Structure 1
Amino acid sequence: MQAAVLKAPGCLELENIQPPRCPPGGLLVKTKVCSICPTDVKMFFGGHRDLIYPRIPGHEIAGVVVKSKSDLFKSGARVQIAPGISCGKCALCLHKADNQCVSIDIIGFTYDGGFAEFIAVPPQSLVTGAVNLVPDRLSFEEAALTEPLACCINGQERTGVDENDTVLVIGGGPVGCLHVLLARARGAKKIFLTECLPNRINLAGRFLTDVSLINPLAKEIKKVIYQETKERGVDVILLACREGIDYPLLDLLAPRGRICLFSGLPPEKARPYFDLNTLHYREITLVGAYGCTAAQNKAALELIASGKVPVSWLITRQIRLEQINEGLRYCAQRKGFKVLIKF
């Protein structure tokens, strides 16, 4: 089979290798679509904390079961696969935080992923509910965006976004737009989105017409938010780009506001940043969010299938596997939104 193998930062090679065998109790899946995540771009250019080389990346996967050694799925089933392979037994798994499992493997990071024609799905993914049937009415392209939406669900559950909240999403890339769509589906009463790239402003503006879109290069964020919230500020800030950490975030929050650090930061920015007295006196909550649980992945697929979170407009380019290096560089230039690899 064809597979893209990441051997070192900047070294992703297309190879013809033997397809994996179907593991006992598991599945062999023919990849139909694998979406490129910003984390894949990060891995390509500079590695990642959880990455083990050599590796077939790709963790936003939808495909068809071609061989099954499980009673849960039959050959021919259309499936979407969450990347986390958790133990299901540790304290974190038992507390429904399987994305933080102490012995987790991650498809595309420590276990070969979807930048290949076939993927072997271990039995543990089936036991923990990390594999879901894709409804016939849903395309593989849409199903492949389940995992990034599931990560957004994690961030918004961590911050408790609901119908009473005014929400600010910082970063209008694909993940930021998914956060907007999800906050809307959760009933947020007002949503702000910041973005400075003209192409993304134009695209988001066409599809997110009920959102207050702010270009920080043209307008002062605090001024716009204070005008539209009667100087109260926002209830929730979802930080969907690493550049956003440089904003005076605490100045934008209402008392008892919540901040979600959704994007990983480079080492030079991952230092103490917030005034702890402000957090104390204004009762600000600061949370992190990384990855998603199997339950959140299932909920994301249901939201997409129901039409409550429409995602097809986020797909701006589709490529073949042999174009993978070009696709990664295209994503790095932030020219569009989601790039899908089709098989």
Structure 2
Amino acid sequence: MKAQVFRGVKQLSYEELPVPNLEADEVLVQVRVVGLCQSDIKKILYPLYEPPRVFGHETAGIITAVGADVKKWQVGQRVAVMHHIPCMRCAYCMNDNFSMCDTYKNIVTTAGFAPSGGGFAEYVKVPGHIVENGGLIPIPDDISFEEASFVEPTNCCLKAVKKAQIAPGQTVLITGAGPIGLMFVMLVKYFGGKAIATDLLPSRIEKALEVGAEAAFDARDPDLAAKIQGLTNGMGVDVTLLAVPSDKAFFQALDCTRKGGKILFFAEFPDQVEIPINPNILYRREIDLMGSYSSSYRLQNLAADIVFNHRIDVKALISDRYPLKDLSQAVEQAIAPTADTYKILIYP
């Protein structure tokens, strides 16, 4: 099978690999489409993992083989693949911190080498723990593979929305109107909130309005805080979701978030970035700072429901489609997006 192998920082190699062998409790999925995620891009651009590996985790495809002990799944079924599932027994899982679970981190779908997602390949192997514990989601007949590939990123965004306790009537500032920021706009609106978005690209500012933002501004606008105060009766927003790794965006969030509000870090910052802050700002204004990483097993069914029942329009986020052999080109476009670049999908 063909796969894009990570051979080092900024080094992707389009190679022939053996199709993974199955154990008795495992399933093999032919990848029909896989989303290109910002986390994949970071893993390719920075020395975070030892090569060789095959990344890619927003996967949808067709089951082409099942192990001898697999009874719940058959060849030919269309599925969205969750690349990891928590153990549901450890102290982290007992506190709903599923993404901190060792099982969640270490038992991962693979196309070969150290298990790392494996979606950037023609076939991906799903370990028995994931097969048995809800990591395969049947795709309804009227849903495309493209739409199904959004279940995992929807879950990640949904986790952040739930963690920030966004409620009907609240106003939410979303910094960054790329694919993730736009999905936040859709989800905030779906849950009854009012979204305000910022970005540097005029086309993304316009796109945010198209998908449901109440207002959208250039992030460099010197009057941004005043404009947001004007939209919120002088209060500021209830919640800010940081969808870009920018210290400037964080300080804007402090200026724009009301007393008693929340600021949630969703985008991963480079490790060398440090943000100085006077702790009295948090103390006196009672601002809550929080982070949200990866997905939540508890929200998996809700994420699938939101995508499969078109409660948000994930197709509106798709801008580009690349064959697997051109993954490097897709990554370059994602790093330096054009005016019309949003979600990029890859086809093995």
Q: Which TM-score band applies after superposition, normalised by the shorter structure?
A: over 0.9
Q: Could you tell me which of 326, 330, 338 is aligned with 2:329?
A: 326
Contact conserved, 1:35 with 1:144, CA < 8 A, in 2?
yes
Query: In 2 relative to 1, CA 131–95 (structure 1 residues): closer, same or farther, beyond 3 Å?
Result: farther
Long gaps (5+) in structure 1: none
Q: Given residue 119 of structure 1, which amino acid in structure 2 is its aligned partner?
A: V
1:163 alignment partner, one of 158, 164, 168: 168
Instruction: Report the counterpart of residue 260 of structure 1 in structure 2.
Output: 264
**2:60 is equivalent to residue 62 of structure 1:** yes
Match of 1:231 in 2: 234
Is residue 42 of structure 1 aligned with residue 42 of structure 2?
yes
Give aligned-pair identity as a percent.
28
**Higher relative contact order, chain-length normalized (CA < 8 Å, sep 6+):** 1
Structure-1 residue corresponding to 2:253: 249
Unaligned runs of 5+ in 2: none
**Match of 1:193, as an amino acid?**
A
Q: How many aligned residue pairs are there?
A: 338
Counterparts of 1:124-143 in structure 2, within 5 Å, are 124-143=129-148
1:22 aligned residue: 22
Shift of 1:111: 3.0
Q: RMSD of the alignment, in Å?
A: 1.8
- Give the corresponding residue for 1:198: 202
Distance 1:149 1:334 in 2: 21
Contact 1:59–1:113 (Cα < 8 Å) also in 2: yes
Aligned partners of 1:47 and 1:205: how far apart in 2? Answer: 37
1:100-111, aligned counterparts within 5 Å?
100-103=100-103, 104-105=105-106, 106-107=108-109, 110-111=115-116
Structure 2: distance between partners of 1:216 and 1:132: 38
Q: Whole-Å Cα distance in 2 between the matches of residues 232 and 100 of structure 1? A: 35
Give the distance between the partners of 1:223 and 1:21, measured in 2 at CA.
60
Q: How far is the alpha carbon of 1:250 from its aligned partner?
A: 1.8
Does the 8 Å CA contact 1:31/1:119 hold for their aligned counterparts? yes
What TM-score, normalized by structure 2, do the two folds share? 0.92
Opposite residue 265 of structure 1, the aligned amino acid is F
After TM superposition, which residue ranges in structure 1, 4 or more long, deviate above 6 angstroms? Answer: none
Deviation at 1:112, TM superposition (A): 4.4
2: CA distance between counterparts of 1:9 and 1:306?
39
TM-score normalised according to structure 1 size: 0.93
> Which residue matches 1:207?
211
Other-structure match for 1:174: 179
- Among candidates 294, 297, 301, match of residue 294 of structure 1: 297
* Deviations 1:266-318 (CA, angstroms, capped at 9, x unpaired): 1232x353332121222211110110022323321210111111110111011
SS at match of 1:202: helix
SS at match of 2:276: coil
Compared CA separation, residues 112 and 287, structure 1 to 2 (3 A):
closer
* TM-aligned CA deviation for residue 245 of structure 1: 4.0
